[in-house]
């Protein structure tokens, strides 16, 4: 899984992550719609756009760029994409670009053509290794799992799962989302292991996670329910309100089918793509 795809899932599932990165109040996060945007008649595709509700034209429009590999032409491409988007879409909102790097070393630095923009309020550069220190918040700890070296990632993941296992700290819906994200991050970080092997590694902890009500409901009896809730939220942000018959089809998908849908929806452009996928893959009644 590519890093930008992984971050797409992170922002879809945890829109408050962006607001945490920017040190902005997260109360508006759920009102934004996050999507990847392909610009017409070009080969450009923006990594992600957080679109505010139309009734709030004063709320900023956020362009998200995730860059984990060196690219000396990054800002040339990014600003070309942004201004083409503004020309095509003519949004009423102010805008800000958020460029997310794992470390400062990946940032190509200043650019003579765009220096005024890089120094303006329009651009925010986030270095995750600095932002996630110290690991004080849940979102910082989730990003800590993403940044961890392979030999440390399971320990970091267990720390997060221990926290979400405390029902007094994290509600059940958010806990299910975090568990799915942590599992996805480990699949990305440990590509030689199967999902079943990763699940076994996470379950064999020395913590009391297995004894919590959360563990019983989410990891065993309710894991499918958590997957359905996560996928439904992602699809609604990408395709709009889902028809009851479509929701019913999704609820009858098995966990492996839900995981496959979670990957496929990143390429959906509307409900037609979703319906076509369900017609091909959904088997009502199979769990």
pLDDT digits (tens, 9 = 90+) for 121-173: 999 999 999 999 988 888 999 999 999 998 889 889 988 888 877 655 566 66
pTM over 0.75: no
Asked if the model's pLDDT at residue 213 lies above 70, the reply is: no
Q: What percent of the chain has pLDDT above 90?
A: 34
Identify whether residues 85 and 203 lie together within a single domain. no
- Of the residues 88, 114, 131, which one is the last residue of a structural domain? 131
Asked if the model's pLDDT at residue 9 lies above 70, the reply is: yes
Task: Note down the domain range covering 117.
Answer: 3-131
Identify whether residues 101 and 170 lie together within a single domain. no
Cβ-proximal residues to 268 (8 Å cutoff; 6+ apart), any chain: 235, 238, 239, 274, 277
Name the residue among 112, 39, 50, 45 with its Cα closest to residue 75.
112
Domain-embedded: residue 243 = yes
The rounded distance, in Å, linking the Cα atoms of 128 and 247 is 36
Q: What percent of the chain has pLDDT above 70?
A: 82
Q: How many domains does the chain have?
A: 3
Identify whether residues 241 and 217 lie together within a single domain. no
Domain-embedded: residue 17 = yes
pLDDT class of 8 with cuts at 50, 70, 90: confident
What letters, b where the CB count within 10 A reaches 16 and e where it falls short, cover 218-241? bbeebbeebbbbbbbbbbebbbee
Identify whether residues 260 and 153 lie together within a single domain. no
């Amino acid at each position: 899984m590519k890093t930008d795809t992984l971050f797409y899932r992170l922002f879809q599932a945890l829109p408050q992550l962006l607001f945490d990165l920017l040190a902005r109040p997260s109360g508006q996060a759920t009102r934004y719609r996050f999507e990847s945007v392909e610009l017409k008649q070009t080969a450009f595709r923006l990594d992600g756009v957080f679109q505010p509700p139309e009734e709030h034209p004063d709320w900023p429009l956020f362009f998200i760029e995730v860059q984990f590999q060196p690219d000396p032409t990054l800002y040339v491409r990014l600003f070309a994409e942004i201004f083409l988007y503004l020309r095509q879409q003519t949004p009423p909102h102010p805008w800000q670009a958020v460029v997310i790097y794992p470390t400062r070393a990946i940032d190509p630095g200043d650019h003579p053509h765009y220096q005024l923009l890089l120094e303006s309020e329009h651009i925010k550069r986030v270095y995750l290794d600095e932002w996630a220190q110290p690991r004080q918040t849940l979102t910082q700890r989730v990003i800590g799992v993403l940044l961890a070296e392979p030999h440390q990632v399971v320990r970091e993941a267990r720390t997060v799962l221990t926290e979400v296992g405390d029902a007094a700290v994290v509600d059940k819906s958010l806990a299910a989302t975090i568990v799915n994200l942590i599992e996805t991050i480990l699949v990305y970080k440990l590509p030689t292991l199967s999902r079943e092997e990763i699940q076994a590694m996470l379950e064999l902890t020395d913590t009391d996670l297995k004894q919590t009500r959360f563990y019983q409901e989410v990891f065993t009896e309710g894991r499918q329910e958590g997957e359905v809730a996560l996928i439904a939220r992602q699809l609604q942000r990408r395709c709009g309100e889902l028809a009851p018959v479509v929701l019913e089809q999704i609820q009858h998908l098995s966990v492996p089918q839900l995981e496959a849908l979670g990957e496929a929806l990143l390429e959906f452009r509307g409900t037609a793509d979703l319906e076509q996928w369900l017609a091909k893959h959904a088997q009502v009644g199979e769990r």
